[in-house]
């Protein structure tokens, strides 16, 4: 039966869309977060709205991941690489939720509450947090934000190692375009 044929060599289209939407939004938000002091006043409302969007997309992605298994790893992949991949991927899932959540909590209970809006279209409610919790969230947002940046750097280097050095299909199977490199 045609519908029973499942391609196991690529990520599902939904996984690919979630991966790249969230990746681009996070890279933008890391840049705005780290550089906001040098940016125009309009940058921070974009950071917040984009961050809330990442939070919602990441929760939806987690639900998607629970119901869609990724394609299996190459059978000859060493155990340490399997463990490293699984650990870093679950950490990335956790961070894509915790970083925006701490940002939202920090602005919700902070001493000054600026209007919170989704790209000027509608208001975003504040979370019910105390000033003390907001202070802790502020710390958490900074630490987890930089930890996420470090994880993304390692994750990207690992993807490039697979593509350029090991010359396997790890990167290609999550890209909407590009073909696998030809083995040497
Ligand atoms: C993808 C999601 C997000 C990422 C990757 C991210 C990342 C960052 C980073 C790296 C910083 C700089 C930390 C520092 O050097 O002090 C920052 C600052 C900040 N973020 Fe986020 N953030 C995200 C979501 C949010 C959300 C959802 C909000 C609020 C609704 C928010 C509010 C803020 C604020 C107000 C600052 C400035 C803090 C300060 O200067 O003390 N962020 N963010
Ligand atoms: C903020 C940026 C990024 C985040 C949060 C992120 C997150 C993730 C997560 C959670 C997975 C695991 C998917 C799963 O199996 O459930 C994944 C897979 C993957 N990502 Fe990223 N990613 C980011 C950026 C990138 C970039 C820039 C590249 C490449 C240059 C990349 C390449 C890959 C590859 C190749 C896989 C598949 C790994 C495998 O099949 O085992 N990612 N990413």
pLDDT per residue, tens digit, the chain (184 aa), is 333 334 458 899 999 999 999 999 999 999 999 999 999 989 999 999 999 999 999 999 999 999 999 999 988 899 999 999 999 999 999 999 999 999 999 999 988 888 899 999 999 999 999 999 999 999 999 999 999 999 999 999 999 999 999 998 899 999 987 665 555 5
For 138, the domain range is 2-174
Domain assignment present for residue 39? The answer is yes
**Per-residue pLDDT, 178:** 61
* 180 within domain boundaries: no
Pocket test for ligand 2, best of 92, 97, 169, 178 (most atoms within 8 A of CB): 92
For 28, 85, 89, 116, the CA distances from 154, given in Å and listed in that order, are 18, 11, 11, 33
In the structure encoding, which two tokens stand for residue 112, read together? Answer: 């000054």
Q: Are 53 and 44 contacting, i.e. CB atoms less than 8 angstroms apart?
A: no
Q: How many domains does the chain have?
A: 1
15 C-alpha vs ligand 1 centroid, how far in Å? 25
Q: Which of 45, 42, 47, 15 is nearest to 28 (CA)?
A: 47
pLDDT of residue 181: 57
CATH number at residue 154: 1.20.950.20
Q: What letters, b where the CB count within 10 A reaches 16 and e where it falls short, cover 45-84?
A: bbbbbbbbbbbebbeebeeebeeeeebeeeeeeeeeeeee
80: in domain: yes
In a domain, 69, yes or no: yes
Rounded to whole angstroms, the Cα distance separating 58 from 22 reads 7
Domain membership flag for residue 168: yes
What is the distance in A from the centroid of ligand 1 to the CA of 32? 8
Residue 53: inside a domain: yes
Q: How many Å apart are CA 14 and CA 20, to the nearest integer?
A: 10
The pocket around ligand 1, CB under 6 angstroms, is made up of 26, 29-30, 33-34, 47-48, 51-52, 54, 99-100, 103-104, 107, 141-142, 145, 148
Please, what is the end-to-end C-alpha distance for the chain in angstroms? 37
Task: Say how many Å lie between the CA of residue 17 and the centre of ligand 1.
Answer: 24
CA of 52, closest atom in ligand 1: 27
Q: Which pLDDT does position 2 carry in this prediction?
A: 38
**58 lies in a domain?**
yes
Q: Has residue 181 been placed in a domain?
A: no
Radius of gyration of the chain (CA): 19
Ligand 1 atom with minimal separation from the 37 CA: 40
């Amino acid at each position: 039966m045609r519908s029973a044929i499942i391609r196991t060599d690529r990520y599902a289209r939904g996984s690919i869309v979630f991966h790249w939407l969230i990746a681009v939004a996070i890279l933008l938000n890391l840049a705005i977060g780290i550089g906001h002091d040098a940016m125009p006043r309009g940058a921070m409302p974009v950071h917040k709205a984009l961050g809330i969007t990442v939070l919602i997309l990441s929760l939806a992605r987690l639900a998607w991941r629970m119901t869609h298994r990724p394609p299996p790893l190459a059978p000859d992949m060493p155990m340490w690489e399997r463990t490293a991949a699984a650990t870093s991927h679950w950490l990335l899932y956790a961070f894509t939720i915790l970083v925006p959540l701490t940002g939202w909590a920090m602005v919700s209970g902070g001493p000054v509450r600026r209007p919170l809006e989704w790209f000027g279209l509608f208001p975003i409610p504040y979370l019910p947090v105390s000033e003390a919790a907001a202070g802790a969230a502020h710390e958490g947002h900074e630490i987890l934000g930089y930890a996420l940046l470090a994880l993304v750097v390692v994750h990207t280097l690992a993807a490039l190692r697979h593509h350029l050095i090991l010359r396997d299909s790890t990167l290609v199977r999550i890209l909407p375009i590009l073909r696998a490199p030809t083995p040497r």
